[in-house]
Amino acid sequence: MRTFLFATAALVGVTAISPPARAVGCLSGAAAGALAGHMAGHGVWGAIGGCIAGHVWHKHQKQLREQDLQNQSAYDARRRAIDPSYRSPWEQAP
């Protein structure tokens, strides 16, 4: 229990003084990986693998969202070419 409290305090201290990182998805992936790794007896390796997997998954989701926006824009452009009075359902009302 003492080790857990010390590790938590160290993590909070490092997080408080460190600049923000661009490791989106790493903490949630590391937590899940550490839990799975702990069950298998390899908590640190699970956390490292979970961090990598969480980061890659987040990048993949970001690319899918960007592709969806491009598809919506292309669809709107095609519809406006056919019907100039077309209003996109994704645009907010004025």
Model confidence pLDDT, tens digit, residues 25-67: 777 778 778 878 877 887 788 888 888 888 888 889 999 999 9
The model carries a pTM of: 0.55
Residue-range domain boundaries for the chain: 23-76
> Rounded CA gap, 93 and 6, in Å?
53
Instruction: Write out the DSSP string of 14-66.
Output: HHHHSPPP--TTHHHHHHHHHHHHHHHT-HHHHHHHHHHHHHHHHHHHHHHHH
pLDDT in tens, 4-19: 777 777 777 656 665 6
Q: Note the Cα 11 to chain centre separation in Å.
A: 20
